Amino acid sequence: MRPNRQTKTNQFQPLEAYRTELFATPFWKLRFNYNLDEIVRDVRKAVSVVERQSGGDTKRNYTTYFDRDIHDEYIGQTEWCKQLITNLKDTYVDIMHKEFLKDPREQNMLRSNIHCCLWVNRYTDQHEHSVHNHKGTILSGTFYVKTSQPCAPIIFESPNEYANMLFMTEDRHHQGDNGQDNHFGVPAVQKEFQFQPRDGDIALWPSYLYHHVPSQENQEERISISFNLAHSVMYGPSTTDKLLDECDYSFLTQEG
């Protein structure tokens, strides 16, 4: 009988590991083909009105987010805005159907029932947007109209950030082949994703993702349009609804 072959324990002997990615976070990239110069003109006009009203307040003098009247007057009625909203709503339904397996018939998804709120921005080197997410909505995104170089990226934080604390990973940089995708972390744990936009790009992501835009030294102008998308979830008719007396809850306020 042959003796068992002894393995030297001082040799490197890893088992073969097969990696499977769990709990993916989707990020979509799209294009909006339109006359970008026309959009740039209208955004500059709207933001110039905001600037006159907001003065040197760099937290709000670059965007129509806080000034819906100005937005509706200079942006909301334009043909390009109507086309953009149409495309965004249809894209939202397409993603809900294909990737979230929602049935548009059961969800009563009509174009008029899809909520799309957008606002325009004109950043210079004075502006930045601190870390935030978009509560109360489903998908969020930004359409990049003009990205004068140097242009600040949009930076996303990993929803699994706690894993970086557990493993104490390093923030190593890996750039994608397209030159726009920049990953920071290690192969097992990603800490941060930076997207470097180009003119005409649309970035779309789940609204729960925290993200920010840093200030960019010597940035002449970056024009973008941010938006939120959602729909009213339909749970189906309830037989008890017809049996109950109606009640108007508007008497409930946060005052007093």
Kindly report the average pLDDT of the chain as a whole number. Answer: 87
Tell me the Ramachandran region of residue 112: left when phi exceeds 0, alpha when psi lies from -120 to 50, beta otherwise. alpha
Q: What percent of the chain has pLDDT over 70?
A: 89
Q: Which residue has the tokens 């941010």?
A: 226
Task: Return the residue matching tokens 């017809």.
Answer: 242
Q: Is residue 249 part of a domain?
A: no
Is 13 inside any structural domain? no
128 and 104 in one domain?
yes
Peptide bond into 14 cis (omega under 30): no
CA angle 85, 212, 191 (to 5 degrees): 115
Instruction: Tell whether 125 and 73 lie within a shared domain.
Output: yes
My answer on whether 159 and 141 are in the same domain is no
- Do 212 and 138 have their domain in common? yes
Does residue 179 have a pLDDT over 70? yes
Same domain for 54 and 170? no
Q: Are residues 78 and 111 in the same domain?
A: yes
> Which pLDDT score is estimated for 238?
59
* Residue 185: domain span: 154-196
| Statement to judge: residues 46 and 121 lie in one domain | yes
Q: Work out whether strand 222-231 and strand 211-213 pair parallel, antiparallel, or are unpaired.
A: unpaired
- State whether 125 and 53 are in the same domain: yes
Q: How confident is the model at residue 216 (pLDDT cuts 50, 70, 90)?
A: confident
pLDDT in tens, 65-100: 999 999 999 999 999 999 999 999 999 999 999 999
Owner of token pair 């606002």: 119
Report the C-alpha gap between 9 and 11 in whole angstroms. Answer: 5
What percentage of the chain's residues is helix, strand, coil (to nearest 5)?
A: 25, 25, 50
pLDDT at 130: 86
Q: Are 96 and 211 contained in the same domain?
A: yes
Average pLDDT in the 113-123 region? 94
Number of domains in the chain: 2
CA distances from 194 to 111, 116, 185 (A): 32, 25, 12
Question: What are the tens digits of pLDDT across the range 137-157?
Answer: 999 999 999 998 778 899 999
End-to-end Cα spacing for the chain? 91
**pLDDT tens, residue by residue, 119-134:** 999 988 778 888 999 9
- 53 Rama class: left (phi>0) / alpha (psi -120 to 50) / beta: alpha
Residue 1 has pLDDT above 80, yes or no: no
Do 136 and 180 lie in a common domain? no
At 4-32, the pLDDT tens digits run 566 667 888 899 999 888 888 999 999 99
CATH number, residue 70: 2.60.120.620
The answer on 179 and 72 residing in a single domain is no
